Amino acid sequence: MSDQNQNQPEIHGVVAYYDDVDGVMNASRKIRDAGYKKWDAYTPFPVHGIDEAMGTKPTILPWIVLGMGLTGLVVGLSLQYFTNAVDYVFLISGKPDWSLPANIPVTFEIIILFSAYTAFFGMLALNKFPHLSNPLHKLERFKRVTNDRFAICVEAADANFDRARVEKLLGVGAEHIETCPTDTTRAALPIWFHGVAAILTCASFIPLAVAFKGRFATSEKPRYHVWPDMDWQRKRKTQTAWEGFPDGRAMRLPVAGTVAEGELRDDFELYFGVAQGSEVPDKIRYDVAKFGADAGAERPEWLAAFPAAVNVDEAFLERGRQRYTIYCSVCHGKQGNGMGAVAVRANALDAAQWGWVPPKSLLSENAKAYSNGELFHVASNGISTMAGYSGQVTAKDRWAIVAYVRAIQATQGLDQTEAPRDADYKPVPTIESVRVSDSSAAGQ
Amino acid sequence: MTTTDPTASFGGKPLKGQDPRVRPALVEGENETFSTVTEAVARVSEVPVKETNKAWLIGFGVSVTLLGVLGLMLLHLITTGVGVWGNNNPVYWGWPIVNFVFWVGIGHAGTLISAVLFLTRQNWRTGVNRAAEAMTIFAVICAGLFPGVHIGRIWVAYWLFPLPNQMNMWPNFRSPLLWDVFAVSTYASVSLLFWYMGMIPDLATLRDRAINTPRKIAYGIFAMGWTGSSRHWHRYERAYLLLAALAAPLVFSVHSVVSFDFAVSQVPGWHTTIFPPYFVAGAIFSGFAMVLTLMVPARQFFGLKHIITMKHIDVMCRILMATGMMVGYAYMIEFFMAWYGGVQYETFAFVNRAFGNYWWAYWIMVSCNVIFPQIFWSKKMRANLWVVMLVSITTNIGMWFERFVITVTSLSRDFVPSSWGYFSPTYVDMLMFLGSFGLFFTLFLLFLRFLPTVAIAEVKTVMPQAHAHGDHGHGKDGHVDADPTSYGTAGGGGSVAPASKQDA
């Protein structure tokens, strides 16, 4: 007993040191068998078999890790389900919103992440780490435990602690025995540390305060751009002015005569409703009130029949019925009597008082008198207040509409004074009626 | 007792002149004791600053300079934009992605050695695992850098993660690039935990040997108050086993996911199912090459020859050769599939790889990865450190070229000839790649200098003294022997602990 602390009443425990594995194993068994609870063996490396010699119960760590791994599974899947299938759905090539195989990699990684963190931090928590202040660290000799010594410490806190008996039990084969005093020193931090800590704590509120001010105060100045992103670039944008070019535009116009892909329109009959080679008509100016005396003076040579490029048959007519119903019927009505939904509603509101022009009946004599080409032209470019549909409807479809209008004109025979029929009334124009109107228009 | 198969650790072939039933000593030397092992490892970090090894100082100086170059290049990149790289239509994935895959591949050996070899009880790993793990982490840091800056506007890098934001948008979890974010960041953080956890007992050793206060405080904080308590060891070993068991599938998943970045796309030359195993084999290959490149000089300079022995090097050379041949097999199968699949684009992509514009890159890759490692069939060559160094370095070069070949040749020649192009790197590309070596070596040299480079506690467990003598039992039902948490059983010198089953 080379121990000066013998008279000191407060001891943490008795520590015995051993040279080899056998020594510590044998002593461990004795202490275990003597029924001590608060004691431990300290070794430089994990000694094989010592758990059994000490009677250590298996740790519950694996179960905690399993639990967190399963949590990871649920979190991983529900994170992806919520973000990608509920809150922000990605529509990619018509694939389903939620397809498990694609979510497996991330789920797997999250399971591993959760379990690995739990294994590590769980170990720390169960071992009560970090635990920097330990009376054993004060013993000079104990430092060799992390090198080549094996030690056992029986703590005074144990209910059965009897110093003499413990020393006797540990003594066999021990290289040295000593008592460990309780740690009475309090490691106080230096004074300056408190000052610095106080200043840093206060300073750490500054950025937060600045952010709060920015969030809740208003300002005349434009927003401060920390990152300019691509907001300011050294380039000219479309539709802007620039002195660099003589014409003052930033955009260049296409070279004269440029034809866009698919826009060649060399078939005049198909695209303009006039004979090949004749002048391409402008928007029709029939309105004498608006355009003066020569309105409608120069009428182009309208095509009387259908262009060679379209094949007028049942399917074509059906296509025309569809297109007409979609694009024209809202105003001109399903039967073409000018009593479409828009017209009915506008009449109900007496919209004419605000200068509203009602759509015309397509069954009127005036409308019947149009040649096919002219009708096509109206459908394409509009007429006085009516807008054109060349942007929405392809040329062939416009011809299909013309065919359909011809058909309802031939079969319907109603005029705009007649009351509208039931909403589900469907005129049944036939291909014959188109052919008839074809020949009748030809005379014009 | 499967664990005591005396030759299992060294490929099943007994080393010449030895009793084949005896496992070769993992720690060499006549009179090794626990404290000489501690001494050998700890001494390295305890050398006073003034007496620092000259070679270390020079190496550190060069590395820090390169790190500075990297910093400048990053600054240039971030303030100017990704246009400073050679990436351009059609090769939008140039060197940054090549470098990413290169580094992340290197970062596989560490965890592989630590986790997979741990689970398969390859006790020889104890000499090299610490350094390999450190290498992993530093390599993953380098790897993470490249995709990080590749996104262009790095200040919106947080878009990669599922964080609620003012745009009300979430990342697309069905994109392999997002899988990559999760795989690589999980891998980086789990490897870090694994490495740090392994070091805790050794940091305590350094703390207890510390002679001045700064060292005591620094090591003391990171050792977290470790005492060597057996109850702590018990949980610690359990946690270590769990981490190893988790890290092992992780390590395979990471490079598989990296390969999905390519394989899930439609580009000819990328769209193949062989990619995941092929990439994983390549990663192990390049990782072991890097371990050799680092460990051969390190053991020389720091006097660790008896802990990182010639046998370690021998085993690693064999692994290098084996994985090199796996990679070679993958190269062959790719060609076979391109021909057998009969898709003209695919066929073209591969013929173009070997004989097109980038034929030189392809053949550098094949020579470095498949042909050169064949030299390790010869035992003499495995024992020649110059040859080992040379081949491990050429392997690193070859593996960089493998990623270059995959990324660049495929992109530069896609479906439409009108979009074909030729990739040329800029000086920024080159200096950044060089700079990443600066980052890597700066960290690695600091590690060598200040941290326990060898797992001291673990090495002790494989020494003969670490085992109690046969006069007491292991466990009533013998389960202790089957318990892989124990670091190992057999030691050297034929003192194989018998699996006695009687209880005390």
| pLDDT per position as a tens digit, A241-289 | 999 899 999 998 888 888 888 788 888 899 988 888 777 766 555 555 5
- Predicted TM-score (pTM) of the model is 0.71
H helices of B160-306, in order, are 176-209, 213-223, 230-263, 275-301
Residue A196 pLDDT more than 90? yes
Quick count: other Cβ atoms within 10 Å of Cβ B331?
Answer: 20
Tell me if B487 and A59 make a contact (CB, 8 A cut-off). no
Locate B193 and state its tokens: 């935990």
Residue A71 pLDDT more than 90? yes
Q: Which distant-in-sequence residues (6+ apart) come within 8 Å of A305 by Cβ?
A: A372, A438, A441, A442
Arithmetic mean of pLDDT over chain A: 84
Contact yes or no for A309/A269 (Cβ under 8 A)? yes
The answer to whether residue A65 neighbours chain B at the CB level (below 8 Å) is yes
Q: Please tell me the distance from the alpha carbon of residue A193 to that of residue A224, in angstroms, as a whole number.
A: 37
Residue B323 pLDDT more than 60? yes
Segment 134-163 of chain B within 8 Å of chain A by CB: 153, 155, 162
Best-predicted range by mean pLDDT (A76-80, A182-186, A384-388, B344-348): A76-80
Q: Which residues pair with A274 in a beta bridge?
A: A302
Arithmetic mean of pLDDT over chain B: 84
Question: What pLDDT shows up at residue B27?
Answer: 66
**Is residue B250 very low, low, confident or very high in pLDDT (cuts 50, 70, 90)?**
very high
Contact yes or no for A337/A414 (Cβ under 8 A)? yes
Q: Please tell me the distance from the alpha carbon of residue B480 to that of residue B495, in angstroms, as a whole number.
A: 19
CATH class of A256-444: mainly alpha
**Is residue B433 very low, low, confident or very high in pLDDT (cuts 50, 70, 90)?**
very high
Q: What is the ipTM for the molecules in this complex?
A: 0.85
Tell me if B457 and A87 make a contact (CB, 8 A cut-off). no
What one-character DSSP code corresponds to residue B3?
G
What one-character DSSP code corresponds to residue A35?
T
The answer to whether residue B70 neighbours chain A at the CB level (below 8 Å) is no
Tell me if B34 and A59 make a contact (CB, 8 A cut-off). no
Q: Pick from B238, B246, B469: which is nearest to A116 by CB? A: B246
Condensed to tens digits (0 to 9), the pLDDT of residues B287-299 reads: 999 999 988 988 8
Question: What pLDDT shows up at residue A412?
Answer: 65
Q: Please tell me the distance from the alpha carbon of residue B341 to that of residue B269, in angstroms, as a whole number.
A: 12
The answer to whether residue A231 neighbours chain B at the CB level (below 8 Å) is no
Dihedral of CA atoms A295, A300, A305, A307 in degrees, nearest 10, equals -130
Residue A1 pLDDT more than 70? no
Cα-atom radius of gyration of chain B, to the nearest Å? 24
Locate A171 and state its tokens: 């003594």
Domains and CATH numbers, chain B: 56-155+172-453 (1.20.1630.10)
The answer to whether residue A78 neighbours chain B at the CB level (below 8 Å) is no
Question: What one-character-per-residue DSSP string does A30-81 give?
Answer: HHHHTT--SEEEE-SSPPTTHHHHHTPPPPSHHHHHHHHHHHHHHHHHHHHI
For chain A, domain boundaries: 1-196, 256-444
Tell me if A53 and B469 make a contact (CB, 8 A cut-off). no
The answer to whether residue B34 neighbours chain A at the CB level (below 8 Å) is yes
Condensed to tens digits (0 to 9), the pLDDT of residues A280-293 reads: 766 555 555 555 56
Q: How many CA atoms lie within 13 A of A19 on its CB side?
A: 4
Q: How far is CA B308 from CA B27, B244, B312, in A?
A: 8, 22, 6
Question: What pLDDT shows up at residue B30?
Answer: 61
